[in-house]
Amino acid sequence: MKALYYDEFGSRDQFRFGEVADPHIGPDSLLVKVVAAGLNPVDYKVRQGHLAGLMDTMFPVVPGWDVAGVVVATGLDTPEYAVGDEVLAYARKDVVGGGTVAELVSVPVRTAAHKPAGVSFTDAAALPLAGLTALQSIRRAGVQSGQTVLIHAAAGGVGSFATQLAVLAGARVIGTASEANHDYLRSLGAEPISYGDDLVEQALALAPERFDAILDYVGGTALDSVPTLLIPGGNVASVADARAVAFGGHYVWVRPDHEDLAHLVGLVADGKLRVNLDGVYPFEKARDAYAELEGGHVRGKLVVTI
């Protein structure tokens, strides 16, 4: 099959297009013909070698953990699925290697869900990792109706979903974003504030009684303000900064979860959760898609179509 791949860790210069071996199908896996693959920052962090101490790697590595496509073969014990089913998956496996920016990918059934007919393949491919991260971090932070929640990087891929899910839960959401994304955040139901030295002042001007929960999707200095902005007994969850644990909160590493993914794509099908695509690239332009992603100014999600 054709795939985007790399043979060693490094920069985007390591990327190659070419033929790699077709993936094996385990007894509890599906072989999926890829229609669209969603890109995530973790893809280039893996390629740069930053996860080498966490996960084993088998070269050549095809990047990508998000996929939407059509089942073309099933494993020995996959009664939930049949050839021809349209699916989406957060296809993360125990070993880094066979990713989704390819013509075919092997998908463990525990990572997959059926794609509703009314959801496009591109929207479905953009959903899994970012949507699951948003849902699971909101759950870990205990976000509830009536609470006031601060979301850092609220206009990004994860933040866009988290903002909507928190609003759906009945929370008041204040989100950090660049000025250019403030109207976008308002369209998602959030009240925007800007990054900068006066972030605390902006946040307290809108929420003088402070925040019940803080969700961090950017890392860096975002958590520096937690002692000032979080109420006593409040909760913080971060996907980017382990200091969240020191504040009594949670460091969240998203898990594949069939039921969570089915719930999320159901919300999309019902029109309750919006997928924002910042760019859709053809397969041969996948390198360009990763260049845009690594630029750090993507609003929503990028997808490659195969």
CATH number reported for the structural domain that contains residue 139 in this entry: 3.40.50.720
If one counts the domains in the chain, the total is 2
Q: What is the DSSP letter of 190?
A: P
Q: How confident is the model at residue 156 (pLDDT cuts 50, 70, 90)?
A: very high
What pLDDT shows up at residue 233? 95
**pLDDT mean over 49-77:** 96
SS3 (DSSP) at 122: helix
Residue 267 lies in a domain: no
In 3D, which of 275, 298, 240 has the Cα closest to residue 164? 275
What pLDDT shows up at residue 35? 98
- Calculate what percentage of the chain has a pLDDT beyond 70: 100
Q: Both 122 and 143 in a single domain?
A: no
> pLDDT tens-digit profile of 45-60?
999 999 998 899 999 9
Q: Both 227 and 284 in a single domain?
A: no
Residue 29 lies in a domain: yes
In 3D, which of 227, 245, 3, 233 has the Cα closest to residue 100? 3
> pLDDT tens-digit profile of 159-208?
999 999 999 999 999 999 999 999 999 999 999 999 888 999 999 999 99
Residue 270 lies in a domain: no
Residue 262 lies in a domain: no
> pLDDT tens-digit profile of 200-241?
999 999 999 999 999 999 988 999 999 999 999 999 999 999
Question: Of the residues 216, 235, 251, which one is the last residue of a structural domain?
Answer: 251
Q: Both 8 and 120 in a single domain?
A: yes
Q: Both 111 and 51 in a single domain?
A: yes
In 3D, which of 35, 64, 53, 40 has the Cα closest to residue 133? 40
Report the C-alpha gap between 203 and 173 in whole angstroms.
11
In 3D, which of 76, 81, 80, 88 has the Cα closest to residue 35? 88
Which residue's structure tokens are 């125990």? 94
In 3D, which of 43, 33, 38, 41 has the Cα closest to residue 125? 38
**pLDDT mean over 124-150:** 98
More confident site: 278 or 297: 278
**pLDDT mean over 82-88:** 98
What pLDDT shows up at residue 296? 84
- Calculate what percentage of the chain has a pLDDT beyond 90: 96
Q: Both 159 and 185 in a single domain?
A: yes
Q: Both 31 and 121 in a single domain?
A: yes
Q: Both 83 and 163 in a single domain?
A: no
Residue 203 CB neighbour total at 10 angstroms? 22
Q: DSSP for 224-241?
A: GGHHHHEEEEEEEEESS-
Residue 264 lies in a domain: no
Residue 286 lies in a domain: yes
Q: Both 161 and 238 in a single domain?
A: yes
CATH number reported for the structural domain that contains residue 17 in this entry: 3.90.180.10
Q: Both 7 and 121 in a single domain?
A: yes
Residue 256 lies in a domain: no
Which residue's structure tokens are 């200091």? 243
Report the C-alpha gap between 284 and 305 in whole angstroms.
9
Residue 48 CB neighbour total at 10 angstroms? 15
Mean pLDDT of the residues in the chain: 96
Q: Both 66 and 151 in a single domain?
A: no
> pLDDT tens-digit profile of 247-279?
999 999 999 999 999 999 999 999 999 999 999
Which structural domain, as residue segments, surrounds residue 175?
131-251
**pLDDT mean over 111-135:** 98
Judge contact between 29 and 118, C-beta under 8 A.
Answer: no
Residue 117 lies in a domain: yes
Q: Prior bond to 60 cis, omega within 30?
A: yes
Distances (CA, A) of 256 to 115, 136, 195: 16, 10, 31
Encoding tokens for residue 185?
């955040």
Report the C-alpha gap between 176 and 11 in whole angstroms.
29
